Homo-oligomer: A and B are copies of this chain.
């Protein structure tokens, strides 16, 4: 259960359909007494907004985050932080033609079969618009992490040219997002099932369109010899230094103090600006003529989402690790 809750101590529970009244969430477990800059939260969210980059959908949303609780006089209270973001620019009629069809490689068919009912407008709950709430929770987490010297950075490889070309052809592209986390102390992660890498993998693979996860050197390690792969340790000026970091900063499921890094692969957006053959809810074969506003690649907007989910995992495990000793 808890399909809409993520985290152990620092927990995000989110709600919202793409074309319903609002998206929103509750952050529980935020430590008390942290100074919060709500303008900075808004700035982080703005970076995720559509219409910012080439190839992004033209939907214009202000995506103003309204924080309803948990902050008092600029500080966290230790109580849950409720927040809401209104869905303003919802041209639901753009989606009327999709009411009874199943778009291939979308959630339409599986959600209809699972729930027996669905909000077809803009993908409903299955829309990537839900990631907005992840970004909000990540923005709060990053402010807490900053006070203890932890920084999370995510980056996509340059792909503006590919996106431009695909767009011209009514096509879409996939791509990869890398993430780097610095300043993490030794000791985060909860073996054996709650390994830090396992939690990061779950976080990343829950992002819409994510299809692969590589921890540290990832798949490249599968074809190495052991003798090439060891992250050997030396003492430098009385401190432990790792001579390599193929592990990506995690060994035995626990952070080793090195930079944590990983890569997430995303499939191409499944909505093409072309005729697509499919079936409808009556089992008839149909041709879908896409309308509405759609990104050409999930990658640019996935960057802040990857960053946010990483920040949530790290803060959560930082708090959890405080229970290791009495």
Number of interface residues of A (CB under 8 A): 153
Q: How far is the CA of A273 from the CA of B186 in the complex (A)?
A: 28
The residues of B that contact A53 with a CB separation of less than 8 Å are: none
A305 CB, min distance to chain B CBs, angstroms: 12
Contact of A198 with B193 at beta-carbon distance under 8 Å, contacts A32-B324, A226-B171 already known: no
How many copies of the polypeptide does the oligomer hold?
4
Q: Do A226 and B266 touch (CB < 8 A)?
A: no
| Contact in complex: B270, A226 (CB < 8 Å) | yes
Chain A 268-294 near chain B by CB (<8 Å), digits 1 or 0: 111110101111000111000000000
Chain B residues in 8 Å Cβ range of A79? 4, 15, 17, 115, 119, 124-125, 191
Chain A residues 40-71 with CB under 8 Å of chain B are: 66-70
Given contacts A29-B323, A326-B148, are A226 and B269 in contact (CB under 8 A)? yes
- Given known pairs A174-B229, A202-B202, A222-B176, the reply for A192 and B68 (CB within 8 Å) is no
Smallest beta-carbon distance A318→chain B, Å:
8
A214 surroundings in chain B (CB, below 8 A):
211-212, 219, 265
Is A304 an interface residue, CB under 8 A from the partner? Answer: no
Can you give 23 contacting A-B residue pairs, CB < 8 Å? A1-B28, A1-B29, A1-B323, A24-B68, A33-B326, A77-B115, A79-B125, A84-B84, A110-B189, A110-B256, A111-B254, A173-B226, A174-B222, A198-B205, A198-B206, A208-B252, A213-B213, A221-B266, A233-B279, A234-B279, A240-B283, A318-B326, A319-B323
CB-based closest 3 A-B pairs: A107-B252, A3-B190, A172-B226
